[in-house]
Structure 1
């Protein structure tokens, strides 16, 4: 709670300085609008962008779900079949060094303007932290417990289900927090490719019309979505990994 109050005070001070500098320096609204102008547009322009909120939310949730499935599946496969890691892990690293904004137009050419290229973009952005964090969790379990289970005659899958998977949950949620915040950015980038609805489309239209205040309105909603997803994941972590917090 104390951390939240300090952060809120910090943001309030930044907004106040922003407002003062814009007014004192007479900065044009199409260059950098004041926070008060953005707040006004946030309310008055709501009828214009309200239909763009739901498509972005649904795209974020769908992309995040696919990213979690791919990320967890990749980590489990590499952990249970170590012989694959020298071949697949470098490819995973390479996938994070290819700029998504560059490969995105190719995805449109290959798969069209439907949902699939958008999900691929979000997955490319989000799956890696899930995979890396979960792999680290698998390798960080108590080795003494592992030896004890081997001595007791536990099979490889029993060790995985009863020791490695539960023990890696804190690491998994750390990866999910990163992926959850990245998923919003990935959804916006995918909407830039070509979409009839969504905040990404709204941002492009506002930018071309030099309505910078509305561009910032979209940015505010992006931050809100990211914070909500991060908070939901934290709540799920507390409910799932109770022993860690206790």
Structure 2
């Protein structure tokens, strides 16, 4: 189930947002796991939940809202953030957090705008083919495939390395995760699958794959031929 979060300290506003959200979920027959942050959030607390949150609604009626958005973006750059406020405000200071939406909640148009945003974001998260989903004991993770540089396995766990530099550690093996990856992902080793978008060179002699940014990964003899052929196919498709 997709996990969302609402950052709102005003109980009256929380009740209103809850009413609007539940009305939408019932009407559209959707499910959503909602986390409610009812006090000014600390980094220590948010660290426990940030990776689980696929999108967030954050109030800007208090200065703490902007700080919460900055903190959430730093901990989980893939999270979609929608800001809201009672009155209009300058949006430029929010741009570093790459907001997905902004709306005013002052009247019935606020309900309409919120429900439009919920519809768009949930459609993106649940229906898009370019999203990697993983549901574990700690919740569901949703990561755009284009943000994944490579996956690395140590038999019991898989580490997902993203373009933002963040890593996500999953209790799994590589094979069960492969069907969720698109055709641009290439296995180069029994323990590595790489996103070809980030591959710069293959060095057969050194048994290395060099990624953009200079990072190198091992490529085994067993997988070199197939990986090279697949990368050539992808290059031809893009020409």
Fold match by TM threshold 0.5: no
**Structure in which a larger fraction of residues adopt strand:** 2
TM-score range, shorter chain: under 0.3
Specify which structure has the bigger relative contact order, considering alpha-carbon pairs within 8 angstroms and separated by 6 or more residues: 1
Provide the TM-score with structure 1 as the length reference.
0.25
**Structure in which a larger fraction of residues adopt helix:** 1
**Which structure has the larger Rg over C-alpha atoms?**
1
